[in-house]
């Protein structure tokens, strides 16, 4: 009787052990399946995060309007009038060759003052001309002396001394037969105004008249 009871008890223990093991195995299999499913889901979530990180939606900038292209046309300077006036070549008091066209074309106007060493009024106004010459030059009007007795070597020597004493350093030229005809006057000093094309403007001013020279320059070059 005792042996049969012991056998029954052992059979029950073995059955419980088998049953318990079988339960653990099922639980482990279930846990393994759950863990595997989670591992499979993780890469998907990771890939979705990476996709969102790699492909962010960039803001679209509004198109900037193109700046208009401005074409600047070159401005053509007005052509200078063709020179068709007084022509001639002479020399200054020091023997240097001078072309009158070069003088006239390099200034808007040129004041030509014809004088002589023997003429008192001519010599008397030279100090005032020495003062006016740089003022007129700054405004575009050159001052040039034309020595009517410049064909006399002694007169040229005297003229140099007169000009030096007066502090006059503006250009002085010797007269020629051609220039005598152009700037002819019965009386001296005679002062002419010539434009840049070589034409005499207006009437000559006869006699020493520095104020008249100023008035003429003011009218020509306001």
The domains of the chain are located at 1-49, 89-220
Please state, as a whole number, how many other Cβ atoms lie within 10 Å of the Cβ of residue 121: 13
Confidence bin at 78 (pLDDT 50/70/90)? low
**Mean predicted confidence (pLDDT) in 97-123:** 97
CATH topology of domain 89-220: Glutaredoxin (3.40.30)
Q: Give residue 207's region: left, alpha or beta (phi > 0; psi -120 to 50).
A: left
**Mean predicted confidence (pLDDT) in 80-105:** 92
pTM above 0.75, yes or no: no
What are the angstrom distances between the C-alpha of 19 and each of 8, 9, 25, 26, 29? Answer: 16, 15, 10, 11, 15
**Mean predicted confidence (pLDDT) in 62-84:** 69
Confidence bin at 83 (pLDDT 50/70/90)? confident
Q: How many helices (H) and strands (E) does the chain have?
A: 6, 7
Whether the per-residue pLDDT at 42 is higher than 70: the answer is: no
């Amino acid at each position: 009787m005792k042996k049969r009871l012991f056998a029954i008890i052992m059979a029950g223990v073995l059955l419980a052990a088998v049953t318990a093991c079988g339960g653990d195995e099922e639980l482990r299999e279930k846990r393994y399946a759950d863990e595997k499913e989670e591992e499979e889901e993780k890469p998907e979530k990771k890939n979705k995060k990476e996709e969102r990180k790699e492909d962010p939606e960039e803001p679209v900038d509004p198109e900037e309007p193109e700046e208009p292209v401005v074409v600047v046309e070159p401005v053509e300077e007005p052509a200078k009038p063709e020179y068709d006036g007084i022509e001639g070549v002479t020399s200054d008091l020091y023997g240097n060759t001078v072309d009158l066209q070069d003088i006239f074309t390099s200034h808007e106007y040129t004041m030509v003052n014809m004088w002589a060493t023997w003429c008192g009024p001519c010599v008397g106004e030279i100090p005032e001309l020495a003062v006016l010459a740089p003022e007129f030059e700054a405004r575009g009007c050159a001052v040039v002396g034309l020595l009517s007795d410049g064909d006399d070597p002694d007169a040229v020597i005297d003229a140099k001394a007169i000009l030096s004493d007066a502090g006059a350093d503006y250009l002085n030229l010797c007269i020629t037969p051609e220039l005598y005809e152009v700037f002819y006057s019965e009386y001296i000093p005679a002062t002419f105004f010539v434009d840049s094309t070589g034409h005499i403007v207006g009437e000559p001013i006869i006699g020493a008249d520095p104020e008249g020279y100023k008035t003429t320059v003011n009218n020509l070059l306001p």
